[in-house]
Structure 1
C-alpha cells in the first residue's frame, strides 16, 4: 500500500509542478495532417520522403527496429549517401527526430542536405519489444538498463548501418540517454570508436548528481523505483499503447494540459513549440522502457556518480562484475581519437548545467571540438523546439560537412 501511495504522490507531484509551454509558441501553428493517428512510416512518407523499416538483432537476442530516410524530398535513389545515425533519449523513440515538420526536424533536414538518415530504437521501447527467445511477458525480457543499451544496442545498430550502406564510418548524434549509452559504448567497444569518429551530444548526460527533473528526483529520493520493483513491475510505462490511445483525445482538447503531463515524464520544455502538434506527440510518446532502467537512473541520483547498475549487495555485484561495487564509467578515459561536439541548455533540469560542466572538464581536451550552451533551452528543446533548426541543427550539419 505504501508503494502505491508513493506512486500516486509521484504522479501528483510531477503533474502539479511542471512548467507549461511558453506562450511564444502560439504563433507557430500548423495543422497536424492527421499525424497523431499515423504510423512512423506514414508520417514520413506523407511529407514526400521515403522511409524504410529495418531490424537488427543484438548479441543478447533483442530485436531492434530502425527507421531509415535514405534521401530527401528531391533525392536521387541511385546515389549513395553518407549515413548518419540518430539515437533517442529516455522514455523516447525514433519519433523524436520527426516530431516537427520538414525544415524543423533534424531527420528531414539531414535527408534534404544529402545524408542517409538512420534512427535507432533501444530495447523495450514501443518499436523494439521483440527477442529471439524471450517473450515481452517474461521478467527476463525486461532485465536491462542503459548498461545493455550501451554494450549491445548501440554497437549492433552501428554495425548494421555500416554493413548495409558500405560506408566504414558515420557521425553519431545522441540525445539524453542516447549520450549515456554512447559514453558506455565508446569506453567499452573499440569497434564503435572506429565506426563513429564524430559524436554529437544533445543534452549530454553522465553523472546526474544535480538533476532537477521532478519525476526522477522524487522517484529517487523516495525510493519509489525500489518499491515498484518489489511490487513486481517490469515495464515502465506498463502499457504505452493504451496510454497513447487515451492521451490523443485529451491533448486535442487541451494542448497545455497535455504538455504538462508529457513534460513530467520527459522533462520540461522552454523553447518555442508548435502547440498544435501536441496530439501528434501524444500519439507516439512516451516510448516506454524497463523499470530496471528507471531504477538505474534513480541510482545515479542517489549515488551521485556515473556507474553501472547496482544489484544491491556485494555478493550480487560480485556475481555480475567480480567486484562488490558496480564499476564507474570514467569519461576521463574517453578515446581521444573521437571528436565530440556538445550542445547543452541553461534551463535543462535533466542534463543539469553543473553536471554537464563537470562532464566537459573530464573529457580529454583533444576530443572536445565545441561545447555550445543555449541559455533558454531545456531537455526536450534539442529535439522538439521549432527554432532548433537555426539554434543547433545548422551547427550540426556544418560539423558533419567538415569531418565527413
Structure 2
C-alpha cells in the first residue's frame, strides 16, 4: 500500500531526531565493509589470494600472509606454513580484524610463519561451486561434517603443494577445531600432515553449553524436519542496511552500545574488560559471514544428546540406517586423532567447556564444576564419572587428584587413555575429581577482585592448602554423598595436603588414604641447579617483583609461543635444548619423555601461579624445616606473634599416607623424603619407583608410569575402603 512509504520516512525522521544527541558524533568505520585482503594490506603486509576446489565441487578462497611486515625477501618457502581456521559463521577476517600486533594472523607472520587463512564453504569468500549457485536448494546441504571431510583436507593439500612442505601447523577456533576432529577421525591419514594442532575454544561435545543459546536447541529436530523437506536455508551475512543500523547502535559513542556488547556476552560469556569497544562495530560488521543452518543444527544435536560427538542425526531411524547402517548416527572415532593437540580454553567460555572437551575426546563422561572458597576465589573442578561404557558414578569410590605448581587438571589426562592416571582410575572404577587451584588457567576468578589486581595474588601454597583443598574436598563429598575420598597429589599437590592435614586435622577424617607422588615438604636438599640458584636470590627477587608490580608467575604469551614453536617442536634442530631445560630443573630422563607429546604438554604448562608460591618454596630450601610463610621479623610478629613462622605439625596427619619417590628426582631428594616420612602421623609406606632415571615430571608423563607407578598406587588404594 502506497501510504506505508511516507510513514516509514516519518518514522526514520522521528528516530533520527529522538537519538540526535546520542549519535551526534557518529561516523561509520570504513573497516566494517573492508574485505580480508584489504585489511591485510592496510596493516602493511603482503597478501595473496588462492582458490581451492573440494572433491564435491565447492570453491574455497584462501588468504595468505607470506611474510612479516618488516621482511619481504620472498623466502616463504623456508618458513613453516600454518593454517588458521575460523569458527561458525566466521571468516578469514577474524584473524586480522584487530590489526598489527594484536591479531593472531599478524603475530604469527611477524614470528616468521607462512600464514594461511582458510574460508569454509558458504561464507562470504567461498560462495561458489562448479555446478551450483547459492540460491540452489542443495547448495546449503552441509554441516560441519563436510567442512571436516572435504574443506579442510582440500585446503591442507593445496597449502602443502604450494609450499613444498610435508607438514603444517594448524590453529582452529571453535568450529575450526570441530572440523579438525572430524577430519582427523574420518580421514586419519591427515594426522601425519599436521605438526601440531592448537585448539582455541575447542568444540566437539556440546552437552555443556551455557546461556540463552541453550533455549534455541529445543528447535533442533524441527530444523532437521524443515531442512529435509524444504531444504536447509542459509544463515547469511547481514545486508548493507543491517550493517548500517548495527554500526549506528554499536558505535563507541552511541548510548545504545551496551546493548550490542551484551548480546555478544549472552552468547559467548561475559567479558567486558577484554572486549575492545572501539572495534565492536568492525567485529559485528564481519560477523556473521555466512553459514548453513545445518551447521547450527548439528551442534544443537550435541547439546540434546550430551556426551556424544557424532555424525548428523536425520531424526528418522530409516534415513539414519540408510546413511550409516544403524538407526543411531555413529560417533566420530576420536581415538584416531594422533596429531599432537594443545587445547586452550577458558572457564568463562559459555560455548566450549574447557577440559571437558579433552576428556570427552577420549570417550569418557566429563563434568565441570565450580567451587567457591570462603575467601571468594572461584575454582573449577573437572570430573570423570567413568568411561562411556560405565558412566554412572553411583557406588564408585571418589578420588581427588591435585596438580603441582604452575600446573593444572590437564596434567592428569593429557597423555590420553591407558597412560594418564585420570583415565586409568576411571577405568578401574573410581569417580575421578581433578582440582585446579587459585591462579591457574581454570581458576582465575574472584568475587571481588580480578587477576590484574595485586590483591588477587596475595597467596602462597599455604592458602591453597587451608582454603582451596577444603573447599574442593567438601564439594566433592557433598556431590557424591560420600563421607570420605581418596587423595592423590603431585609435587605442590602433596605440599598443600600436608599443610591442610596438619593445620586442619579434622580433614584427616575425610580422607580414605593419601598417595603422594614426588612429595614436597622439606626442600633443604633439592638438587636442581636453577632452583638452588634462585633460592639464593629469593629475597632480592621478591623485592624486584614488588617494585615492578609483578605478582604472577607467567611468561608473556608471545615469548612463550615463539619459544615452544621454534625450539620445542618435534622437527626443530633445537628440540634437545627444550627437553634439556626441563631436565636441568627436574632431573635427566630422556628415555621416559615422549618427545612427540612435548608440544602438547607445553601447550598446558605453565598454567599460572603466584610469585609468593615460589618464594615460599625458596624459603624452605634455606632451612631444613617445613613451616609457614616467612614475612620477616616484623611481619611475623604481626602475623604469628613471634619472630619466626610456625612449623607445620606433621604428627597431626592421621590419614594413611604413602610416599612415592625416585632417586633421580632433582626436586624431591631422598633425604627430604626420609625426613618427611619420619614425622608423619600415620605413614603406610615409602615406595621408590623401580627405575633409576625416573624424574620429577615422570610421575605424570613418563612412557612407563602406568606399570612403574600407577599399578602400585591402585593396589594400595584397594587396601583401604570408606567406612
CA shift in 2, pair 1:230/1:331, >3 Å: closer
Match of 1:303 in 2: 305
Aligned match of 1:312 in 307, 312, 315? 315
Match of 1:383 in 2: none
Q: CA offsets per residue over residues 46-101 of structure 1, 9 Å max, x none? A: 11111121111111111111111111111133212211100111121111111212
Name the CA distance, whole Å, in 1 between partners of 2:312 and 2:361: 23
Match of 2:562 in 1: 397
Match of 2:262 in 1: 260
Name the CA distance, whole Å, in 2 between partners of 1:205 and 1:289: 17
Name the CA distance, whole Å, in 1 between partners of 2:558 and 2:321: 44
Name the CA distance, whole Å, in 2 between partners of 1:287 and 1:195: 28
Aligned match of 2:287 in 281, 285, 293? 285
Q: Which has more radius of gyration?
A: 2
Q: CA offsets per residue over residues 267-296 of structure 1, 9 Å max, x none? A: 654551221001111221112210111111
- Offset of 1:197 from its aligned partner? 2.7
SS at match of 2:90: coil
Task: Tell whether the 8 Å contact from 1:201 to 1:342 is kept in structure 2 after alignment.
Answer: yes
Deviates more, 1:195-204 or 1:206-215: 206-215
Normalising to structure 1: TM-score of the pair? 0.80
- Offset of 1:258 from its aligned partner? 2.1
Match of 1:103 in 2: 101
CA shift in 2, pair 1:75/1:306, >3 Å: same
Match of 1:184 in 2: 182
Match of 1:365 in 2: 415
- Offset of 1:32 from its aligned partner? 9.4
Name the CA distance, whole Å, in 2 between partners of 1:248 and 1:231: 37
Name the CA distance, whole Å, in 2 between partners of 1:232 and 1:259: 35
- Offset of 1:311 from its aligned partner? 1.0
Name the CA distance, whole Å, in 1 between partners of 2:80 and 2:141: 35
Q: CA offsets per residue over residues 215-243 of structure 1, 9 Å max, x none? A: 2x111134463476489573342453444
Match of 1:25 in 2: none
Match of 1:114 in 2: 112
Match of 1:23 in 2: none
Equivalent residue runs for 1:220-231 within 5 Å: 220-223=217-220, 225-226=223-224, 229=227
CA shift in 2, pair 1:92/1:391, >3 Å: farther
Q: CA offsets per residue over residues 125-175 of structure 1, 9 Å max, x none? A: 122111111111012110000100110111001011111111111110011
Match of 2:72 in 1: 76
SS at match of 2:137: coil
Task: Tell whether the 8 Å contact from 2:188 to 2:337 is kept in structure 1 after alignment.
Answer: no
CA shift in 2, pair 1:239/1:173, >3 Å: closer
Match of 1:63 in 2: 59
Structure 1 unaligned residues grouped into runs of 5+: 1-30, 378-389
Match of 2:616 in 1: none
Task: Tell whether the 8 Å contact from 1:171 to 1:400 is kept in structure 2 after alignment.
Answer: no
CA shift in 2, pair 1:284/1:110, >3 Å: same
Q: Does 1:166 align with 2:164?
A: yes
Deviates more, 1:316-325 or 1:51-60: 316-325
Task: Tell whether the 8 Å contact from 1:233 to 1:291 is kept in structure 2 after alignment.
Answer: no
Task: Tell whether the 8 Å contact from 1:146 to 1:181 is kept in structure 2 after alignment.
Answer: yes
Name the CA distance, whole Å, in 2 between partners of 1:276 and 1:156: 37
Deviates more, 1:52-61 or 1:259-268: 259-268
Name the CA distance, whole Å, in 1 between partners of 2:273 and 2:443: 10
- Offset of 1:193 from its aligned partner? 1.1
CA shift in 2, pair 1:310/1:222, >3 Å: closer
Equivalent residue runs for 1:195-344 within 5 Å: 195-215=193-213, 217-223=214-220, 225-226=223-224, 229=227, 232=230, 234-242=232-240, 243-252=242-251, 253=254, 254-264=256-266, 268-269=270-271, 272-304=274-306, 305-335=308-338, 338-344=339-345
- Offset of 1:330 from its aligned partner? 3.2
Name the CA distance, whole Å, in 2 between partners of 1:38 and 1:248: 14
CA shift in 2, pair 1:140/1:358, >3 Å: same
Name the CA distance, whole Å, in 1 between partners of 2:28 and 2:192: 41
Task: Tell whether the 8 Å contact from 2:49 to 2:64 is kept in structure 1 after alignment.
Answer: yes
CA shift in 2, pair 1:67/1:245, >3 Å: farther
Name the CA distance, whole Å, in 2 between partners of 1:356 and 1:138: 36
CA shift in 2, pair 1:360/1:329, >3 Å: closer
SS at match of 1:350: coil
CA shift in 2, pair 1:163/1:77, >3 Å: same
Name the CA distance, whole Å, in 2 between partners of 1:266 and 1:56: 31
Q: CA offsets per residue over residues 236-277 of structure 1, 9 Å max, x none? A: 424534443442232223433222334455665455122100
Name the CA distance, whole Å, in 1 between partners of 2:95 and 2:347: 22
Task: Tell whether the 8 Å contact from 1:201 to 1:341 is kept in structure 2 after alignment.
Answer: yes
Name the CA distance, whole Å, in 1 between partners of 2:223 and 2:560: 38
Task: Tell whether the 8 Å contact from 2:67 to 2:114 is kept in structure 1 after alignment.
Answer: yes
Return the structure number with greater relative CO, CA threshold 8 A, min gap 6.
1
